[in-house]
Structure 1
Amino acid sequence: MRRDVLELRQFYASELGRAARAMVERKLAEAWGDAAQQDVLAVGYATPFVGVLMPRARRVVAAMPAQQGVEVWPAQGPNLASLTPEDGLPFTNALFDRVLVVHGLEESSDPVGFLREVWRVLAPSGRAIITVASRNGLWANTEKTPFGHGRPYTRSQLVELVREAGLEPSGWTRALYVPPVGWMARWAEGFEQVGSRLWPGFAGLLLMEAVKQTYAVKPQGHRQRVRTGRPVLAPAPGAVSRAPNLEASEHPALRQRLAPPRRRS
């Protein structure tokens, strides 16, 4: 069961949620920059992280699963968030250059189908970042945060899932080393710097970038042996077929054609 949108909003308004937001925003900027002149889609509950892309991006919209609920986003200006079914994003094929998935995959009832929808709306050579709770991290083992619900993943599990959906992993990283304790959020920056060096496997989040690759396949012919059936009644060798009741003498044209040539004197 997915977390309610009000629960997610409350978490990201807390000090611990703001720390998680800052860590993920940094990784997003390292991968995509400011997404200048790009069409960006935020799937799940990724709106806290894509707001920084809006000044330079061509378009930024959000799609929130129906089981989770939707909120008006952004707070100022026209609403850019929509309530969507998990297995059918209401967008045309190959529309977005970048897709960010947060709080989307872990609680999906059909993870492969979920990512195939991401593949469908992603433009050729477009890139998606899938953010999930790391199975070995502390955040997956506590239910006090939204990352403690649903199905966490290891890197190898996420690679296999992404490839099954038709995407090709191109890079990955970890984030959120601070323990999921509210009063420790003020030291999140220090944990991030030390944890990536001393205990990288205990990060709370796993971020994987995947690329939509399209190939032009040229069909190739294959030689195939064809078996032909043997006729039941084969013609006898040397036999000459002759139409019934047809005499060459009765037709002048045939008589001239079949007559033996004259011998020259």
Structure 2
Amino acid sequence: MSSIDVIDLRDFYSQRLGIVARQLINRGIHARWPGAEGQRVLGIGYPTPYLGLFREDAERCIAFMPAAQGVLKWPTARPTLASLVDEFSMPLPDAAVDRVLLVHALEMSDDPAGLLREVWRVLAPSGRVIAVIPNRRGVWTRTDNTPFGHGRPYSRSQITQLLRQTWFTPTAWSEALFMPPFAHGWFLRSAMAWERVGAVLSLPVAGVHIVEATKQVYRAIPAHRERTRLIPALEPVLVPSSTATRISPPSPLAREGA
């Protein structure tokens, strides 16, 4: 699994192709979460290009970036709201946030199930998650000139299985980045037309899945069958007693008398 660091991510989103990709993905996120007034929003991975949707309205909006990736100051001209963290042990109490946005996170993680279980812990009982995940069948995963070509891409069935085994229920799906990942002017100018055609025809070649999920508060706990402990049979062993009376051999005179 190829890795990518925070400098590569920053550079991509400062280029024309990255700016267009951000606009198209933001469109999909905004369709599910048109606002976050009074909500506590947490972004994980490299979510800062997308957290601008919620920063002004949310009660609190912060970004956690994993240690292996690195962290950049965000926002650049305001007090810092981004922090470098251990993605499997986040510095938050249980049920601390209302919404979690995962971008460049699950596909980059060495343990995506462990990451989602930690997200489950910090998410409020009525909380919701949106994950932006590279599409296994998409064109964007076939090239490494964008961040979506790094890490492990997923199919829809793989995402569903991962969410369910980590106590989430998928509730809504959409896709983005139907346009090819080319930075040429014509492709960039026609990006919105690609999105509309791809969505109408349900083309399977979108660059990313955008999936919303809710937290399962009452999750099923598998029953573990009690294992019988087997005790091996022991063979009896005769051990000399330390208190036994010692019998001396008969003296020569006694033998002669006999």
Alignment TM-score, normalising by the size of structure 1:
0.79
1:200 to partner: Cα distance: 1.9
Whether the 8 Å CA contact 1:174–1:200 is kept in 2: the answer is no
Matched, 1:28 2:35: no
| Conserved? CA contact 2:167–2:219, under 8 Å | no
Change (3 A) 1:193 1:67: same
Deviation at 1:53, TM superposition (A): 1.0
Residue 199 of structure 1: CA displacement?
5.0
1:205 is aligned with what amino acid?
Answer: V
Q: Which runs of 5+ in 1 are unaligned?
A: 218-265
Code of the residue aligned with 1:188 in structure 2: it is A
CA shift for structure 1 position 215: 3.0
Matched AA of 1:133: P
Residue type at the aligned position of 1:164: Q
8 Å contact from structure 1 (residues 112, 161) kept in 2: yes
Other-structure match for 1:42: 43
State the partner residue of 1:203: 206
Q: Tell me the alpha carbon deviations over residues 38-69 of structure 1, each in whole angstroms, 9 at most, x when there is no partner.
A: 00000000110011211111110000000000
Name the CA distance, whole Å, in 1 between partners of 2:60 and 2:107.
26
> For residues 219 and 136 of structure 2, what CA distance do their matches in structure 1 show?
37
Distance, in Å, in 2 between the alignment partners of 1:185 and 1:118 is: 35
Cα RMSD after superposing both structures = 1.4
Task: Write the distance in 2 (CA, Å) between the matches of 1:157 and 1:75.
Answer: 36
Q: Aligned to 1:214, which of 212, 217, 225?
A: 217
Question: Are 1:133 and 2:127 an aligned pair?
Answer: no
- Out of 184, 192, 197, the position equivalent to 2:195 is 192
Secondary structure of 1:17 counterpart: helix
| Larger gyration radius, structure 1 or structure 2 | 1
Write the mapping of 1:41-190 to structure 2, written as runs, cut at 5 A.
41-183=42-184, 184-190=187-193
Aligned equivalent of 2:5 = 4
Q: Distance in 2 between matches of 1:187 and 1:117?
A: 40
Range that drifts further, 183-192 or 155-164: 183-192
Give the C-alpha shift of residue 198 in structure 1. Answer: 3.0
SS in 1 for 2:110: coil
> Which segments of structure 1 move beyond 4 Å, counting only runs of 4 or more?
none
SS of 1:36's partner is coil
Match of 1:221 in 2: none
SS in 1 for 2:145: coil
Shift of 1:160: 0.2
SS state at 2:190 partner: helix
| Counterpart-to-counterpart distance in 2, 1:154 and 1:91 | 31
Q: Residues 212-231 of structure 1: CA distance to partner in whole angstroms, max 9, x if unpaired?
A: 131399xxxxxxxxxxxxxx
Per-residue CA deviation, residues 146-201 of structure 1 (Å, 9 max, x unaligned), is 00011100000000001111111111111111100011222211111112123521
CA contact (8 A) 2:106 2:112 kept: yes
Identity, in percent, stands at 47
Q: Matched residues in 2 for 1:211 and 1:185: separation?
A: 34
Residues 45 and 102 in structure 2, CA contact (< 8 A), matched pair in contact too:
yes
Give the secondary structure class of the aligned counterpart of 1:161: helix
TM-score normalised by L of structure 2:
0.81
